[in-house]
Chain A
Amino acid sequence: MNTAPARSWTRYLRMLAVFYRTSIQADMEYRVDFFARVIASLLGLLTTVGSLAIAYGYTDNLKGWTFAQAMVLLAVYYLMDGLIEMFVGPNMRQITSQVREGTLDFILLKPVNAQFMASFRLLNIWRAANALVGLGLSVYTISRLSVTMGWAQAIAFALTLLAGMAIVYAFWLVLVTLTFWFVRVDNIEQIVWQAFETGRYPVEIYPGWLRGTLTYLIPVVFIITVPATALAGRLSGPMLAASLIVAALLVALASAFWRFGLRSYTGASA
């Protein structure tokens, strides 16, 4: 357990800079991968846009969403997917395999907050492919909707994106903590992705029970729909506040669960 004395913010920021710098240095070895990823990302986008375009060929409106609005949602989906794969995914996968191999001990023994170390140690810059594709699509769709981007709107968008990332992080951290007790669940992240996948499309198209699940149980709405609404300049103040509160609450709960899990963690190797 972490017994280090309270340290200043600057120390953690310096550490974060070192973590990310070394991660980027390591990633430089795999440059060519990036182009393959961009191509894969664009092909994936082609499939989703195509499937929506075909459906919109038979109607100009799906449950109140025009094609252009649905595109904004898709853009945010890709952006969020890229950000999660860059910042959250590598760390969460690392913890899962460290629990299995018993190397989590090395992190727990370091004189820093274990959750900080486990959550921010890695950064995968090549996974930015989806984020870049999402960013490009965001700019394009916003220009088509003839929305002018003001500062307030840009800040609201950034805040809701951060809140969305924090919510995904909280869910993933809970799943990762579960591996302290059930080691053999390597693909547990698929549960997160299955819920996330549904966020590509307006939540209104789903039947009531699923819509409820995606709003309250796994708040995909806060992960994708709310940032997309912010990007389109239609976000209300209370909604922005709700998104930040939900994110803060879930991160707090997940952190408490992580600390509870750590108490029952026993190393897997000698």
Chain B
Amino acid sequence: MRYWLEVYRINLRVAWAMLMQYRFAVLIWAVWGFVGPLVSLAVWSAAAQARGSDVAAGAQTFSRGDFAAYFLVYMIFSHLTMSWDAFEFAYRVRTGSLSPQLLRPIHPIHADASYNIGFKVITSIVLLPVWVVLFLVLHPAMPAPGIHLALSVPALVLAAVTRYVWQYALATIAFWTTRVDAINQFYFVLDSFLAGRIAPIALMPGAIAVIARFTPFWYMGAFPVELALGRLSIDRALSGMALQAVWLIIGVIVFRLIWASGVKQYSAVGA
């Protein structure tokens, strides 16, 4: 444990220095995350306004303020759980810059995870005032903070770790083919529909709404959001976290299997 803390402490320092060098570029990437949720919010606000009433599906209703709350919390949680290794990794395999990383005594995932954490810490500090302003401007209907909000914190951490591991497993496909565009896009489609990115799952047409809550995508995406907004019961929250843990363990096993066979057949490119 002490050993790993030390590894991450040093990696974080390196990541911090690297990020500081590219402050402006890092900020542009961070602001990129605003576009999707805000556009979705605009679409659903327009829909709520066109109906002249709340958008209702089954037991769940969404007013304009509810949509604002959903997509704002989604924006922040999505920032805290995001990972981009699937894009980065293929580039490294293609250019051969992965090779020196494989020679290190520690698995490259740890340096990457440190960089991911460092990125989130730096950008969150910068984005915090922007988030506050968005909350003030968009008038989200937030429930009073309570047990739901508290429970959403561990759910969010589990979502972040689970997404990281699954994305890294996906990234590892680059060992076989560096043309991962279509694969990543397919993942993005699943993520958009099943993780509640483009609309709250409750508003999805019948079958998708039912299926989504069994897939890992919902647990990496909308689950902590709906929990924070008090839309899930305490029982559902606890069973949900248990399922998150299950998906995390499955993710780790899948990742290790793919990595072990991928690294065997990887042959370096470049000098």
Contact = CB atoms under 8 A, between A and B. Distances in A.
Interface of A: 32-33, 36-37, 39-40, 43-44, 46-47, 50-52, 54-59, 61-63, 182, 184-188, 190-191, 194, 197-198, 200-201, 204-207
Given A54-B198, A197-B39, 10 more contacts: A37-B182, A39-B182, A40-B185, A43-B188, A47-B193, A55-B44, A55-B46, A55-B47, A205-B43, A205-B46
A55 B199 contact: yes
B185 A201 contact: no
Chain B facing A: main interface SS:
helix
A78 to B, nearest CB: 14
Contacts of A197: 35, 39
A191 B203 contact: no
Nearest to B204: A54
B181 A185 contact: no
Interface stretch (B26-34, B125-133, B250-258): B26-34
Interface size class of B (residues with CB under 8 A): 35 or more
Interface in B241-268: none
Contacts of A44: 185, 188-189
Chain A binding surface, main DSSP class: helix
Given A32-B179, A54-B203, A185 B43 contact: no
B3 interface: no
A59 B21 CA distance: 48
A61 B50 contact: yes
B55 interface: yes
Contact of A184 (B24, B181, B204): B24
A15 B108 CA distance: 47
B28 A62 contact: no
Contact of B181 (A40, A46, A47, A204): A40
A172 B49 CA distance: 36
A193 to B, nearest CB: 8
Contacts of A59: 47, 50-51
Given A63-B46, A197-B39, A43 B193 contact: no
Contacts of A184: 21-22, 24-25
B45 interface: yes
A43 to B, nearest CB: 4
B35 A43 contact: no
A46 B186 CA distance: 10
Nearest to A185: B24
Nearest to A35: B182
A51 B192 contact: yes
Given A37-B181, A54-B205, A191-B28, A198 B198 contact: no
A242 B177 CA distance: 47
